[in-house]
A and B are shown apart, each in its own frame.
Chain A
Amino acid sequence: MKNSIKKRGISLMIGYVILVSIALVMTSIVFAILKGYIPFNKPECPDNVYIYVKDTEYDCSDSLNLTLKNKGNFNVAGYFIRASNISDEELAIIDLTQYLDASQSPGAVKLMPSGVKFQLTGENTFAPDSEVKHVFSSVPFGRLYSVEIIPFRYEEDKSKITLVGCSDGAIKTPLEC
């Protein structure tokens, strides 16, 4: 005669329900944790984005005229501009954005707190081989020795427009009196 051992446990059906629930919950928790690590293409500046200072007119006082030319292969939206009033300073720290004389710089717009756009629109409007003259006046830092320009572009990423600085295209130009 078989000894029937009475074993008690959860009903199979309840067990399945709990297992499936736990699986769903663990899936959602792991997804929530890992979704921030999913790699994606972040907006970047293309190679060969380059503005150069074709000409400078500096009165060694407080007025600076720059003739800028797009020597790269892509349109540019604007640039960050900083100057240095120390002759051998490695980093140009003085942001010249607020000293832009918009009345003498056709189309130019200040992008506060930093940056000058070539046009008011949120597009890359400064085409390759284009030239423009921008004037910075009433700069109160004494003699400036160099100016550094970093172009920026608007890049689209998942239907969102992002401003992207092109630090690879940064140029530093000495200012002669």
Chain B
Amino acid sequence: MEDKRGISPLVATIILISMVLIISAIIFAWARSIVREDATKFNRNIRLVCEDVSFRATYSGGTLNVINEGNVPVYRIKIKKEEGPNYVTEDITTMSTRWPENGLNQGGAFSDNIASTIGTADRIIIIPVLVGDVGNKQTIYVCEDRFGYEIEL
């Protein structure tokens, strides 16, 4: 009769489970560096928060007025100036010094003359820029154009 020696089943189970956990942790740590983590805001993917941004804007006599009517703070706005097929997008802070440093909170308003920077654009699109969280850091996220506010000039 052959004498077969081996590990006790209990010890084997413990070793297997430990190996699974260790290998999982190693692969996860490796994969985390490859998979880009999306920014979140209010515990939701920041792309979804763009849908909740609500603001109104008018442009008259060279003065741009923006009011945040929603419940999502707007950190910045980008102005996309379209002239025919061409367009240029600029941050509001390069066009005006009056934009609040912390952005427009709920009920916040902005008004400034930006005629000199608008030029001969036919249309402008005001695109909200939000601040989101990635891990323990904050990052800026520019919403897609479809969430912008269009003004025909």
Contact = CB atoms under 8 A, between A and B. Distances in A.
A24 B22 CA distance: 11
A60 B105 CA distance: 29
Given A24-B24, A25-B24, A91-B65, A13 B16 contact: yes
A80 B46 CA distance: 26
A164 B71 contact: yes
B44 A113 contact: no
A93 B111 contact: yes
Interface string A13-27: 100111011101100
Interface in B41-58: 42-46, 48, 52, 54, 56-58
Interface stretch (A28-36, A46-54, A118-126, A131-139): A28-36
Contact of B58 (A13, A91, A114, A167): A91
A167 B23 contact: no
Interface centre among A25, A33, A95, A164 (most CB of B within 10 A): A25
A48 to B, nearest CB: 18
B107 A150 contact: yes
Contacts of B100: 113
A151 B19 CA distance: 58
Interface string A91-116: 11111000000000000000001110
Nearest to B45: A36
A69 interface: no
Contact of A33 (B38, B52, B57, B65): B38
A91 B56 contact: yes
Chain A, interface residues (CB within 8 Å), range: 35 or more
A80 B106 contact: yes
B19 A91 contact: no
A81 to B, nearest CB: 8
A165 B70 contact: yes
B26 to A, nearest CB: 8
Contact of B38 (A22, A36, A170): A36
A36 B65 contact: no
B28 A91 contact: no
A-B complex: 6 closest residue pairs judged by Cβ atoms: A80-B107, A36-B45, A21-B23, A114-B107, A167-B69, A93-B111
Interface of A: 13, 16-18, 20-22, 24-25, 28-29, 32-33, 36-37, 40, 42-43, 80, 82, 89-95, 113-115, 150, 152, 162-165, 167, 170
Interface of B: 16, 19-20, 23-24, 27-28, 31, 35, 37-38, 40, 42-46, 48, 52, 54, 56-58, 60, 65, 67, 69-71, 100, 105-111
Given A17-B23, A25-B28, A113-B108, 13 more contacts: A13-B16, A17-B20, A18-B23, A29-B31, A33-B35, A36-B44, A36-B45, A82-B107, A89-B58, A114-B109, A165-B69, A167-B54, A170-B69
